[in-house]
Amino acid sequence: MSQVETTRLIAFEDVGVGDELSPIVRGPMSTAHLMRWSAAIENWHRIHYDWRFATGHDGLPDVLVNGSWKQHLLVQLMREWLGPSGWLWQLSYQFRGMDVAGSTLTAWGRVADKRRFDEFGVVVCEVGIRNGERDTTIGSARGALPYREGPAVPYPFPQGLSW
Amino acid sequence: MGYVTDAVRAQLHRRTPRQTSAEAIGADSLRRFVQATMEPNPIHWDEQAAAASRYGHVVAPPLYPVHAFRRPAGTPDPLDRAFTDPEWDGSGNRDDTGLPPLPLGLDRHLNGGSEVEFYALAAVGDTVSVTHEYVDAVDKVGKSGEFVLVKREAVYTNQDGQVLLTVRRTGIHR
């Protein structure tokens, strides 16, 4: 895992509908990764680190990658693509399937729409997390980007923006 | 007829009292969080990189406030239960929103997804507060029968009242 390039700047005009976002690949996710996440957020639910409990008690195929961890993967996908001049405004997602220890997860995205506002533009992306042939998480995101000759995207980002 | 009765509707749009994190965001807890998410952006640990950013100082990743509510020191240990209940799943009191259960009379609950809006990032030293509210409950009929979609909203703020993010979670009750 390397540090992101903090100087990469993109403008609203640089983006086209259908553009693919650079995917993020994490995995194979070991039980050590899952334990580290559970410890970091102090979540002691055993299905994420106790194989005997997960399989024997809950009847799961293995310990599960936390949904709370997977949502951060989508956040990273969008923020790395938007770069330091952009702002991840909205993210929605649904978990559609389980991801077990040993899975390699790929966060992907595709530009689906664009809309201009007065001071900045907003890009809509379809996003998801793929595990093998399955999308185990699907969702969408909206990110704000500055115009090439426009002002910076306001921070804090304005509330009440109507779509 | 449906499950969304007047008693259910009476629980909508009633915001819970504000809960505030027991501790301010610390550099060490942020470091462990960032490492666990494999977050590569140095504005989350490097003062120099953060100073050059729009934030001017080290900030937490956007969803960090959701996880800022840790058990305060000196409070009862939820893992004590594991001493006497070996079948306990360890999840503890997962619904600690302060919202009363809706009187739907339905036992099954599924996660129907989340919608998040981000407005600002929390910084090291910030304390995070949250309020919760049921915002919608709607009767539905699907292929497998009747169910209720319940939406609840959490609003996270910092010590200055700045809204950091809002999270709307959809629950499917059958």
Structure tokens at A64: 């599960």
Contacts of A132 (CB under 8 A, 6+ apart): A103
d(CA A105, CA A92): 18
Question: From the list A42, A76, A159, which residue is nearest B39 (CB)?
Answer: A76
d(CA A48, CA B74): 26
Q: Cβ separation of B42 and A6 shorter than 8 Å? A: yes
Torsion of CA A146, A69, B70, B169, to 10 degrees: 70
- Please list every residue in chain A whose beta carbon sits closer than 8 Å to the beta carbon of residue B54: 84, 152, 155
d(CA B111, CA A159): 26
Q: What is the ipTM of this complex?
A: 0.94
Q: Cβ separation of A36 and B42 shorter than 8 Å? A: no
Any chain B CB within 8 A of the CB of A93? yes
One pLDDT digit (tens) per residue for chain B, 174 residues: 699 999 999 999 999 999 999 999 999 999 999 999 999 999 999 999 999 999 999 999 999 999 999 999 999 999 999 999 999 999 875 568 999 999 999 988 888 899 999 999 999 999 999 999 999 999 999 888 899 999 999 999 999 999 999 999 999 999
Contacts of A55 (CB under 8 A, 6+ apart): A61, A62
Helices (H), A21-107: 31-41, 51-52, 67-82
Taking CA–CA distances from A158, the nearest residue in chain B reads: B119
Domain boundaries, chain A: 12-28+64-146
| Amino acid (one-letter) located at B104 | L
Q: Cβ separation of B61 and A75 shorter than 8 Å? A: yes
- Predicted confidence at residue B107, as pLDDT, reads 84
d(CA B40, CA A70): 15
Of the pLDDT bands very low, low, confident and very high (cuts 50, 70, 90), residue A146 is very high
| Amino acid (one-letter) located at B87 | E
Q: Cβ separation of B36 and A39 shorter than 8 Å? A: yes
Residues of A (1-40) whose Cβ lies below 8 Å from B: 1-4, 6, 26, 33, 36-37, 39-40
DSSP state of A95: E
Residues of A (70-89) whose Cβ lies below 8 Å from B: 71-73, 75-76, 79-80, 84, 87-89
Taking CA–CA distances from A78, the nearest residue in chain B reads: B62
pTM (2 decimals)?
A: 0.94
- Chain Cα centroid distance, residue A92: 10
| Amino acid (one-letter) located at B166 | T
Determine the Cα angle at B101 with ends B97 and B104, to 5°. 145
Architecture (CATH level 2) of domain A12-28+64-146: Roll (3.10)
Share in percent of chain B as helix, strand, coil (round to 5): 20, 30, 50
pLDDT digits (tens, 9 = 90+) for A78-134: 999 999 999 999 999 999 999 999 999 999 999 999 999 999 999 999 999 999 999
Q: Cβ separation of A72 and B115 shorter than 8 Å? A: no
Residue B82 burial by CB count (10 A; 0-12/13-18/19+): exposed, middle or buried? middle
Residue A2 scores a pLDDT above 50: no
Q: Cβ separation of B42 and A95 shorter than 8 Å? A: no
Helices (H), chain A: 31-41, 51-52, 67-82
Determine the Cα angle at B22 with ends B163 and B152, to 5°. 45
Alpha carbons within 13 angstroms on the beta-carbon side of residue B155 total: 14
d(CA B67, CA B114): 15
Taking CA–CA distances from B119, the nearest residue in chain A reads: A157
- Please list every residue in chain B whose beta carbon sits closer than 8 Å to the beta carbon of residue A33: 36
Helices (H), chain B: 6-9, 27-37, 47-51, 81-84
- Predicted confidence at residue A7, as pLDDT, reads 57
- Please list every residue in chain A whose beta carbon sits closer than 8 Å to the beta carbon of residue B53: 6, 84
Question: From the list A92, A94, A156, which residue is nearest B120 (CB)?
Answer: A156
H or E element at residue B118 = strand B109-118
CATH code matching the domain that covers B6-173, chosen among 3.30.1360.10, 3.10.129.10, 3.30.470.20, 3.30.70.20: 3.10.129.10
User: A65 near A37, Cβ under 8 Å?
Assistant: no
Distances (CA, A) of B10 to A47, B6, B7, B168, B171: 36, 6, 5, 19, 18
* Minimal C-alpha gap between B40 and chain A (Å): 5
Distances (CA, A) of A141 to A29, A76, A144, B31, B107: 25, 12, 10, 26, 32
- Predicted confidence at residue B143, as pLDDT, reads 86
Closest CA to A106 of A143, A134, A84, A140: A134
Taking CA–CA distances from A42, the nearest residue in chain B reads: B70
Share in percent of chain A as helix, strand, coil (round to 5): 25, 30, 45
- Please list every residue in chain B whose beta carbon sits closer than 8 Å to the beta carbon of residue A95: 111, 113
Q: Cβ separation of B39 and A42 shorter than 8 Å? A: no
Structure tokens at B28: 């060490």
